[in-house]
Chains A and B, each alone.
Chain A
Amino acid sequence: MKFARKLPGPAAAALLALGYLLMLLLPAGAARLGDAKLLSGTVPRPVMEGQLSARAQEIPLVYALYRSRVLSGGEDFSQAGEAATPEQARSLSGTLGELEDAGVLPGFCREAAGSIFDLPGALAYTGREKGFVQKSYQGYDASGNARSVLVQQQEETGLVTVCILSAPLPAPDDGEKTDPERILKQYRAYLGLDGLTDWQKAGRGENSAVCWSAEGQIYLYCTVEEERFALGAVSLPPEELEAIAAGLA
Chain B
Amino acid sequence: MYPVLIVEDEAAIADLIEDTLARLDYPCVKAFDGEEAATCIEEQTFDLILLDVMLPGIDGFALMDYIRPTGTPVIFLTARSSVEDLVRGLKAGAYDYILKPFAPEELLARVDGLMRHMGKRSRSLTVWGVEIHPDLRTASRDGKPIGLTPREFDLLMMLVTNRGMVLYRDTLFERVWGLDSEASTRTLDIHISRLRKKLGWEHQLRSVPKVGYLLEAER
Asked if A and B form a direct contact in the complex, defined as CB atoms under 8 angstroms apart, the reply is no
Chain A positions within 8 Å of B, measured between CB atoms, are: none
Which B residues contact A (CB, under 8 angstroms)?
A: none
